[in-house]
Structure 1
Amino acid sequence: MPALRASATALLLGATLSLTACGQQHGTSPAVQVPVPSVDPGVADGAPHNRDNNAYRRTGEMSPASAKDAQKEADRIEPVLKRLWKQKKWDPETVRTALLALGYQETRTGGPLTVKKMDARYETDHYVTPEGALIGLRVHDDACVTAFVQKSNYGVKTNGPFMETGCFEPPYGH
């Protein structure tokens, strides 16, 4: 039994030394640090696979012509949202009515416009849905106007569509 115990101890000690020396070079050559594979450049915390994990949050490319058309539509929508925000009217129904007055049609009737309530978000220990409206306008297959109006502010931007959610930015995963 003592021989078995000594063999087990030697094996454990050898494994421990091997693991603690992992990645180190020995001898006279200087130590070389091996970078962590698949860490995306520009990621502050060095998270591996950040770009792959967030691919669903990247917009598609817009052609220059589509980008120009999307900007025209954004320029039409922005003053309407500014007026509604100043009037403290940011509920989806009021926003929808104001944008339909510009001549847009809703997606549910075959048009390019969607107006919906704000997405729920997690705060402290529960989900809340802030007051306000999210706007998505599909200008072309490769171009959107994405906007919002809420109590604190409003915003309008142009972008290519998101892979899974069209003109609307998808919520964060995990």
Structure 2
Amino acid sequence: MSTSTTHGPRRHAIAAALLLSAALSLTACGERRATDAAPGATVEAPSPNASPSTSTSPTAPGASPYVEPGVGDGGPHHGENNAHRRAGEMSPASAKDAQKEAGRIEPVLKRLWEQGKWDPDSVRTALSPLGYEKDRLSVREMDPRYQGGHYVTPEGALVGLHVHDDACVTAFVQKTNYEVKTNGPFMETGCFEPPAGH
């Protein structure tokens, strides 16, 4: 007496589901996945307005051992992957000097913004009377942004002033607004804040 089995198609379906699950896990790029939770647990997507303190603690039951505590969404290697986006530390004396220079730059950018002049040449010319050396002051166009299926460079200018080795004034002026702030230099881009990216 022989019995026929119908496990062949079922095995193929299970294998396909496992391969799909593995592929989705590999392409999630640091996102929290259902495979990170305890078996049978329901995983909710984090709220876009959630603060870092609402992230699952790595010591919580069912928490992934790959979650980086206290950094962004807690994704693996978040801090490491975004180290280039963190400004360096400024000494108190350098921070004070940077604030002084920001106070000189801000009224110039405000005036340009009110006049509707935010192209790099106009900004460079307007900042020239402040007496900054060319190797300390850099004025350039805005960073390109992905919009409508392609990259566009918005009107406006970015300003970076090296006040000291550990201190910068970072600013921009564009049609909608302007901003002047102080910070330490960025690892890869000096006084300019690196553009956001994946």
TM-score, with structure 2 as normaliser: 0.68
Letter in 2 for 1:103: G
- 1:96 lines up with 2:124 in the alignment: yes
Q: Retained in 2: the 8 A contact 1:119–1:129?
A: yes
Distance in 2 between the 1:118 and 1:23 partners? 45
Distance in 2 between the 1:23 and 1:153 partners? 47
Partner of 1:127: 151
How many residue pairs end up in the alignment? 154
Secondary structure of 1:138's aligned partner: strand
- 1:147-158 paired onto structure 2 within 5 Å: 147-158=171-182
Identity of aligned residues (%): 70
Shift of 1:66: 0.3
TM-score, with structure 1 as normaliser: 0.77
Which of 97, 104, 115 is residue 87 of structure 1 equivalent to? Answer: 115
Unaligned residue ranges in structure 1 (runs of 5+) = 6-12, 25-31
Please tell me the root mean square deviation across aligned C-alpha atoms, in Å. 3.0
- 1:24-173 paired onto structure 2 within 5 Å: 33-43=61-71, 45-107=73-135, 112-173=136-197
Identify the structure with bigger relative contact order (alpha carbons < 8 Å, sequence gap 6+): 1
Distance in 2 between the 1:23 and 1:127 partners? 41
Distance in 1 between the 2:179 and 2:65 partners? 38
Shift of 1:140: 0.3
**Whose radius of gyration is greater, 1 or 2?**
1
Secondary structure of 1:82's aligned partner: helix
Secondary structure of 1:146's aligned partner: strand
